[in-house]
Amino acid sequence: MNMEIIGLIIAGLIVGLLGRLLHPGSDQIGLLATLGIGVGAVLIVGLLLSGPLGFFAYVLAVVVAAVLVALWSRMSARSGHLA
């Protein structure tokens, strides 16, 4: 169980970083927010596919993370402060 959580955190961080790379422009997002976005993307894709995460699922998770980064950036810009 502990190794699954550690694996999820590592995969989430990588997916979150790749999602930030795919999003154009400057993102003022911290490491913890990037980790949260990545883990959220991996969990969303895992729940949608309801199976083991293969290569395609990780690619889809990166796309979901890029969308989440874009939403995060838009929400923080509207609120008038940086994330």
How much is the pTM?
0.78
3-state class (DSSP) for residue 46: helix
Percent of the chain at pLDDT exceeding 70: 88
User: What's the pLDDT tens digit per position in 9-47?
Assistant: 888 899 988 988 888 777 778 888 888 999 998 888 888
Nearest CA among 39, 41, 36, 47 for reference residue 59: 41
Query: Which amino acid, one-letter code, is at 33?
Result: A
| Residue found by looking up tokens 């990037």 in the block | 34
Number of other residues whose CB lies within 10 A of the CB of residue 51:
8
